Amino acid sequence: MGKAVLVIKGGEVLDETGRRRADVAIGAEGDVVGVGADLDGNRVIDAGGCLVTPGLVDLHTHLRQPGREEAETVESGSRAAALGGYTAVVAMPNTEPAIDCASVVREVIELGAKALCDVTPAGAITRGRAGVELAPMAEMAALGVHLFTDDGAGVQDARLMRRAMEYATSLGVTLGQHCEDESLAAGGHMHEGEWSSRLGIPGIPALAEELMVWRDIALSRLTGAPVHFLHLSTAGSIELVRAAKAEGLAVTAEATPHHFTLTHAEVVGYDPLFKVNPPLRSVEDVVAVKAGLADGTIDAIATDHAPHAQETKEAPFDEAPPGMVGLETALALATTELGLPVEAVLTLLSWRPARIAGLAAEHGGPVAVGRPANLCVIDPTATWVVDPATSASRSRNNPFAGRTLTGRVRHTMLRGEPVVLDGEAQR
């Protein structure tokens, strides 16, 4: 065993190979140098009663930098991520300017180098996310970009999406789609149904999502390109993905914590905190999202952490921007609300998303000697109350304020550095 500078002691290691009682020793290079009983090191971090797991990986984080630094920065967002147990996040490209070329990719990578978790940018599929012409995907892929998406909008033009998928197959990258047919969704601000009709708010039909899921499954079948469906929210979408997987197509999918916990009935008070895209759906949809997470149809939980400055959410419902923060609550919402064993929850939050993001060499892998010590120490029995005022995010648009959750991140290690200790960010 190499020399340990730090030992995580007294916990139970949980990774995709199983669970066992073991201490984890970390060397000076930030690698795991030992996993076993009674390890010693210069510094001991207590993990008594806790699970020591690979760090979480978020496939869908809006860090808002460059362009919207009043809402979030790479630094503040990464601090929120670390507090939530994440060691890597995929930064969505709907920044200003969009991450649609090498120079903006480099800018975000440089900002991420100083962050409290690894920040890997997603690139836009089309220039300026305008949905008209392809962005230079190869030049971004050369810098390590693995996931491409116009998130915030779906690529509307089927021919352009087909070309993007064909092109992607030569680069070994994955296209992520925000599935929303704009001709059906335009003007809508919440899920179309009982509540939109009653509240007089124009609706976004489930079909707006499902049409594009169907189309992109067909395009994946045609081109052979892998496609990742962002934030699936409807029972119909999940059924389509289930069938595509049964057929053996290269499709993956994610769902957000708010889509397995909240319904469109939350909009009854017209609070724009509950405005999000895709919108909060029906009870049946929530049930379908949970079932999809349980049976593996949905591969990953992704936060769609979407910070917005306070004043933008203190506007009329139809004028407020969609989105809610989620990095600090995702794990606890999953452990509290899904009714799944903790192994299954971590599968959804760590190792599967790490693979989809192309980050499996560094993140999500087994807690084993030689691997980078990107780890999360979770107290599975700790109960806490969500308080947006204490968030590390620059924004406070948290719809879970006041909710009591069970399961809390105690420590987070980024390449051996304790970036979070006992629930406190260390820098």
Partner 1 sequence: MRHLLSIADLDVDVIEQVMTLTDSFVEVGERRIPKVPTLRGRTVVSLFYEESTRTRLSFETAAKRLSADVMTFSVGSSSVKKGESLRDTVQTIEAMGVDAIVVRHGSAGVPRQVANWVEAGGVRVINAGDGAHEHPTQALLDCYTLRERLGSLRGMRIAIVGDVKHSRVARSNIAAFTVLGAHVTLVAPPTLLPESLVGWPVEVSHDLDAELPKVDAVYLLRMQQERQTEALVPSLREYTACYGLTARRAELMADGAVILHPGPMNRGVEIAAEVAECPSSVITRQVANGVAVRMAVLFLLLAAEGGDVADE
Catalytic residues: 304
CB nearer to partner 1: pick between 272 and 364: 272
Of residues 200-259, which lie at the interface with partner 1 (CB under 8 A)?
A: 200-203, 205
DSSP state at residue 388: G
Note whether 353 and 423 are within 8 A (CB). Answer: no
Site string for Zn ion, 159-178 (x = CB under 5 A): -------------------x
Contacts with Zn ion: how many residues (CB under 5 A)?
2
Q: Please, what is the minimum distance in Å from the beta carbon of residue 273 to partner 1?
A: 11
b/e string for 337-375 if b means 16 or more Cβ within 10 A? bbebebeebbbbbbbbbbbbbbbbebbbbebebebbbbb
Q: d(Cα 36, Cα 398) in Å, to the nearest integer?
A: 40
Q: Please, what is the minimum distance in Å from the beta carbon of residue 154 to partner 1?
A: 21
Q: Which does 315 bind (CB under 5 to 8 A by kind): Zn ion, partner 1, none?
A: partner 1
Contacts with partner 1: how many residues (CB under 8 A)?
22
Interaction of residue 283 with partner 1, rule CB under 8 A: no
Q: State the alpha helices, DSSP H only, in 148-263.
A: 158-171, 182-185, 194-199, 206-223, 235-246, 257-261
User: 221 is written with which tokens?
Assistant: 């079948």
DSSP 222-253: HH---EEE-S---HHHHHHHHHHHHTT--EEE
Q: Please, what is the minimum distance in Å from the beta carbon of residue 425 to partner 1?
A: 31
Of residues 130-159, which lie at the interface with Zn ion (CB under 5 A)?
A: 151
Interaction of residue 279 with partner 1, rule CB under 8 A: no
Interaction of residue 269 with partner 1, rule CB under 8 A: yes
Angle at 91 between CA 394 and CA 252, to 5 degrees: 130
> Segment contacting partner 1 (CB under 8 A): 196-204, 220-228, 246-254, 351-359?
196-204
The alpha carbon of 406 is separated from its chain's Cα centroid by a whole number of angstroms, namely 20
Q: Which does 193 bind (CB under 5 to 8 A by kind): Zn ion, partner 1, none?
A: partner 1
Which positions touch partner 1 (CB under 8 A)?
Answer: 192-194, 196-203, 205, 269-271, 311, 314-319
